Structure 1
Amino acid sequence: MRIWFDADNGPHVLIMRPLAAELTRRGHDVVFTARDRTSTCQLLDMYGFTYLRVGGEYGRGMSGKVKGTLGRAWELARTMRRRGTQVSFGHGSRALPIASVLLGIPTVTMYDYEWVNARLFNLCCRSILLPASITNGRCAEAGIATSKVVGHPGFKEELYLAQGELDNTIAADLGLRPEAVKVLLRPPATTAHYHNPEAEILLQAILHKLAGAGDVQLVYLPRTDDQRDLPKLAGVREVIIPRKVYDGPSLVASTDMVISGGGTMTREAAIMGIPSYSFFRGREGMVDEALAASGRLALLARADEVPTKLVVVRRQGAVSRPDPNALIAFICNAIVGAVNRQRWARNCSIASTIRGAVALSHSSGTRPSSSRPPGSSPFAQPASRPSPAHSSPR
């Protein structure tokens, strides 16, 4: 079976890497497309993947994002039209489900923040994979089609945190000193649709706390050019902005604590047992709530909490690395299983159409006219004989 992965953002590469390895081990062929934004293509290059580059940055504003998504979906469909893929998988990619519908193939999406707009996924996706910590009640409240939700065990970060050896050369490469408190900080995504300006106020409070915290080395990962000088302006003495892309978990493991305005990095740190602080000010998701309830993640909600709640000290203890095998198998089964469900649905639909046409022929005395099979499209790929699926979720 040929399976199509679309990497829409840098963290998606880390998630897809172990899944692609497992599907390949099972005898499937995995092909990649990538959106040229953030570190996506650099990570694919670093891990040795072959991929097709389709689309880039969309720019600010909802109209730009909608136009960019539709344009990329069209280009994805054109690019993949004759490549014989039988199912697609993405981590919240919005162009992929549209392209998959154009091609007439089932698509599976996976994400872990329930408050994103789910209408496109509800309409186009065969399955929506979410952490089991997000309840059906919350899914319904967030507008997610619960009939399509497949709850997976654990957290998505567990897929890759145990993959390979951590890169122990990063600390020396960045010039990190053993005696300093090494803080990894990522500011909020100010161009994201969920951005809340309160996060920028919190960032200033955090930077002023770090500026007065003694021997601190700040490893700073700005998202935009206008964020680059914020630490210096706040008085932080030693700021290190990496000049190249590093393996994310290895970078996290090389520091004493992680602070972020949202995204995967805080959850990676929490799962690895590294002090982790989130000042994300969008609507709180159940994954972060679960990590906070277990004491692994601290949530900073107001600037006046920062002086007492943010503890700037060197980390104690070794890094924890979870076993990902059960989660990898679960998600791979869900991807392959989507093809089995597509075959069953198509057979039922075609059988129903034939029965209706025969009944109409008998009642009218005329031969039924030929028509395109239900669900097909002008983009539909040439027929190919799929290989047997290895397994499917119940």
Structure 2
Amino acid sequence: AIMFYSLLNKFKREDAELLITARDYDSTFQILDDLNISYQKVGKHGGEKLEDKLETYIHRLAELFPFVTKFKPDYFITFSSVEGARISYGLNIPSIGYNDEPRNVPVCKLLFPYLDKIIIPACVPEQLYINLHANPNKLITYNGIDEIAWLSEYEPNPKILEKHSLEKGKFVIIRSEPSFASYFIDKLKPEESLISQFFPPIFTKFPDLKYFLIVRTEKQEMFLKKKLKNYINNSNIKIARYMPDMVDLCYYSALVISGGGTIVRESSLLNVPSIEYFPGDSAPQEHFLIDNGFPLLHIKECEEIVKKSIEIISSKPNSDRFNNSFKEKIKKFENPNEICFNFVKDNLID
């Protein structure tokens, strides 16, 4: 949702009519509401069971269809809506999509054949997309990663510190894994999180810091509250399913730890020490960030997460930690929203 915000503004400045739809997934609705974006709620995430995933796909396809036929769009833009891509193909509506996650094999196999163009980071091997039925002639590559789309225009807001009674570099952000996602099946139970294992020793070492434990589902929240029952009543610990202004919180934090890629990619682009504990191989985007000198580590073992976290928190922040030096580094790379906007605009004019 946050990725499309700057893209929507580009089209609005051109007086384009927009139909924005979103499904109930993670914090999508909350983010759109916080950004005051007008949108239609259509469908939800299918959860962890294959039967539920298929059933919700069928329902969302049926719910989305009348919105599209009534609006009659000249172009369809998506960040991996299988239902939207299928409808645009069936109605012969030109389409373009973003995709930076070919590891999500089931979704990609259903998505790629229907899209006319797919914008992908150059750091992700094209063959991964071709293996999932993407036509190589449809791929548009760019030098960067998706998170640059919104961080290129980001301005830190220090008011977030006062709002949560925080000090710069005196709190830690920890984000749970998307354990219900299709690529996590057989790796973790949907309600579980490794936070329950590595958080206690970090907190014990630094009990005076504040900690935000951001979970993805109610099940994860219940799981952590049970596993961390000896800690959760401490005023320095907050467990939540959603926190507004997450980018600001990351920017001013001492450390960001996450089981998924987006938040640590954001935070490392902002020059924040970041640890990803995704149980699989490092994604090409993580290699891109590391190779370009951004402060990101991928650590899978809980003991090593604890060890490295203690080392980072014990160190003093770099001199450029809380200034805008990150902007100059980001400017060296391409913005996928600029690519998408210019491509669609040029094709509509033609």
Identity in percent: 21
CA distance in 2, matches of 1:71, 1:315: 49
- 2:302 aligned with 1:303: yes
- 2:228 aligns to what SS in structure 1? helix
Match of 2:254 among 229, 253, 256: 256
Equivalent residue number for residue 150 of structure 2:
160
Equivalent residue number for residue 176 of structure 2:
187
Match of 1:232 among 214, 228, 235: 228
Contact 2:268–2:274 (8 Å) recurs in 1: yes
1:144-171 superposed Cα distances (whole Å, 9 cap, x missing partner): 4323211122111111114353332222
Instruction: Please list every run of 5 or more consecutive structure 1 residues that lacks an aligned counterpart in the other structure.
Output: 1-12, 341-386, 390-394
Contact 2:211–2:238 (8 Å) recurs in 1: yes
Match of 2:114 among 92, 112, 124: 124
Match of 1:175 among 148, 165, 168: 165
Contact 1:258–1:266 (8 Å) recurs in 2: yes
> Could you tell me which amino acid in structure 2 is paired with residue 74 of structure 1?
A
> Could you tell me which amino acid in structure 1 is paired with residue 78 of structure 2?
G
How do 1:72-111 residues align onto structure 2 when only pairs under 5 Å count? 72-111=60-99
Contact 1:274–1:315 (8 Å) recurs in 2: no
How do 1:25-64 residues align onto structure 2 when only pairs under 5 Å count? 25-64=13-52
> Could you tell me which amino acid in structure 2 is paired with residue 250 of structure 1?
D
Contact 2:144–2:335 (8 Å) recurs in 1: no
CA distance in 1, matches of 2:227, 2:265: 23
Contact 2:178–2:216 (8 Å) recurs in 1: yes
Equivalent residue number for residue 337 of structure 2:
328
CA distance in 2, matches of 1:187, 1:326: 27
How do 1:368-383 residues align onto structure 2 when only pairs under 5 Å count? none
TM-score w.r.t. length of structure 2: 0.83
User: Which protein, 1 or 2, shows the higher relative CO under an 8 Å CA cutoff with sep ≥ 6?
Assistant: 1
> Could you tell me which amino acid in structure 1 is paired with residue 259 of structure 2?
G
Contact 1:209–1:306 (8 Å) recurs in 2: no
- 2:308 aligned with 1:318: no
Q: CA deviation at 1:235?
A: 4.4
Contact 2:212–2:239 (8 Å) recurs in 1: yes
- 1:185 aligns to what SS in structure 2? strand
CA distance in 2, matches of 1:165, 1:318: 12
Equivalent residue number for residue 207 of structure 1:
199
CA distance 1:208–1:312, shift in 2 (3 Å): farther
Q: CA deviation at 1:270?
A: 0.9
1:200-240 superposed Cα distances (whole Å, 9 cap, x missing partner): 67434421331222232111111122333167347475212
Q: Which deviates more from structure 2 when the two are superposed, residues 182-191 or residues 323-332?
A: 323-332
RMSD: 2.7
Q: CA deviation at 1:388?
A: 2.2
Q: How many residues align?
A: 328
Q: CA deviation at 1:308?
A: 3.0
Q: Which deviates more from structure 2 when the two are superposed, residues 255-264 or residues 206-215?
A: 206-215
CA distance in 2, matches of 1:42, 1:183: 22
Q: CA deviation at 1:177?
A: 4.0
- 1:129 aligns to what SS in structure 2? strand
Match of 1:269 among 267, 270, 281: 267
> Could you tell me which amino acid in structure 1 is paired with residue 23 of structure 2?
R
CA distance 1:207–1:326, shift in 2 (3 Å): closer
CA distance 1:42–1:153, shift in 2 (3 Å): same
Rg larger for: 1
CA distance 1:42–1:304, shift in 2 (3 Å): closer
CA distance in 2, matches of 1:252, 1:275: 10
- 1:212 aligns to what SS in structure 2? helix
1:90-140 superposed Cα distances (whole Å, 9 cap, x missing partner): 112222112222332122111212212222222211111110111224444
- 1:85 aligns to what SS in structure 2? coil
CA distance 1:254–1:307, shift in 2 (3 Å): closer
CA distance in 2, matches of 1:231, 1:251: 25
CA distance in 2, matches of 1:63, 1:243: 25
CA distance in 1, matches of 2:121, 2:17: 26
TM-score w.r.t. length of structure 1: 0.75
Q: CA deviation at 1:28?
A: 2.7
CA distance 1:44–1:279, shift in 2 (3 Å): same
Contact 2:25–2:45 (8 Å) recurs in 1: yes
CA distance in 2, matches of 1:231, 1:216: 20
